[in-house]
């Protein structure tokens, strides 16, 4: 992704529209960490919150993202819909050539998770080429599962443990 120049218009588009999520399921605990390009994220949250000047660092930024996440990422455990809340967020310091933002979301389940279903629809409303990748770790034992979401496929993907 090219470095952004101050004169670059806000509509500047980078080559890739991608989110990456790492989900850990341990008993009834579901922790979800998602990384997004900050410019794409702020565009989506400005639209979602009806606040054209929305910034992720502004007051209430985490709660706006939580509402957006819960609207665009339905998650069920054992057939019950889970609701996420943001525990932490911040700039991804490990990525130096691109402005990335991350959120850690907790989605408590009422019982140990034996079936998990989701559809990650983040940013699909803004980018036709958006891709959302999920790596899920099932603990104990670190069973690894991968999921890949595209805008055209509206189905939930289900894993059974």
**CA torsion angle 36 37 39 41 (round to 10):** -10
pLDDT at 93: 81
pLDDT at residue 11 in the model: 42
- Average pLDDT, consecutive stretches of 10 residues, N- to C-terminus, the chain (161 residues): 44 74 97 96 97 93 97 98 97 80 97 97 96 96 93 96 93
Strand partners, 77: 80, 116
DSSP 8-class letter at 53: T
Residue 32 near residue 47, CB atoms below 8 Å: no
pLDDT value of residue 95: 67
Q: Is the pTM of this model over 0.95?
A: no
Strand partners, 149: 132
């Amino acid at each position: 992704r090219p470095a952004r120049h101050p004169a670059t218009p806000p509509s500047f588009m980078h080559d890739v529209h991608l989110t990456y999520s790492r989900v850990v399921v341990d008993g009834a605990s579901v922790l979800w960490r998602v990384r997004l390009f900050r410019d794409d994220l702020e565009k989506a949250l400005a639209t979602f919150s009806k606040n054209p000047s929305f910034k992720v660092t502004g007051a209430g930024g985490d709660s706006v993202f939580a509402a957006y996440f819960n609207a665009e990422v339905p998650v069920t455990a054992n057939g019950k819909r889970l609701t996420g809340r943001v525990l932490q967020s911040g700039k991804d310091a490990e990525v130096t050539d691109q402005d990335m933002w991350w959120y850690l979301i907790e989605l408590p389940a009422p019982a140990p998770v034996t079936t998990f279903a989701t559809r990650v629809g983040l940013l699909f409303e803004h980018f036709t080429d958006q891709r959302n990748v999920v790596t899920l770790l099932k603990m104990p034992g670190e069973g690894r599962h991968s999921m890949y979401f595209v805008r055209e496929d509206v189905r939930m993907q289900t894993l059974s443990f």
